[in-house]
Amino acid sequence: MSSLPGFSLARRLAAGETIYTGWCALPAPIIAETIAREGFVAVTIDQQHGLWGTEATVAGIAAIRAGGAAPIVRVPLGAFATASRALDFGAEGVIAPMINNVADAKAFVSATKYPPLGERSWGPMRAMTLAGIADPKQYLREANAATVTLAMIETR
């Protein structure tokens, strides 16, 4: 299990803890931070059906962390590159909708995990800054275990 500072969601899930996430569709970082301050372990930024664009998501992730919760981003349908960017921006987890077959699942993992599990490219400087991680080698070693990827399986 990862010991990355500033990353607790994966560790808590692995310990069997029930996690409640506040859900935010409005692209206002102050709202996401307020939800975080209400005691939710995590807050989900909804890019799929919400109004969150890239700039608001970057600010929202930082606001959620400032509020003491783990930021999660639900990306738009098929937007696996956006999932990778959300992790680079400091999200602890990403949710991908409509994962309907093995190929979808593999594409999602490929975009969100570093080799050997996936093909995520390097660029987590914002994530490291927000989490207080100074050692890029430690982040690279532990990021696959420290980040959560949630596939929404919505069909038979």
pLDDT digits (tens, 9 = 90+) for 63-80: 999 999 999 999 999 999
In this predicted structure, the answer to whether residue 156 has a pLDDT above a threshold of 90 is no
Contacts of 16 (CB under 8 A, 6+ apart): none
Selecting among 3, 14, 17, 49, the annotated active-site residue is: 49
Is 49 designated active site? yes
CATH label, 9-151, candidates 1.10.3720.10, 3.20.20.60, 3.40.50.720, 3.30.470.20: 3.20.20.60
The reported pLDDT for the residue numbered 3 is 78
Return the pLDDT at 89.
98
pLDDT, tens only, 27-44: 999 999 999 999 999 999
pLDDT higher than 70, residue 124: yes
Mean pLDDT of the chain: 96
Runs of H (alpha helix) within 1-153? 9-14, 29-37, 54-66, 80-89, 102-112, 125-131, 136-146
Alpha-carbon dihedral sign for residues 68, 16, 48, 126: positive
Per-residue pLDDT for 1 more than 70?
no
Both structure tokens of 43: 């807050």
**Distance, CA of 66 to CA of 92 (rounded, Å):** 14
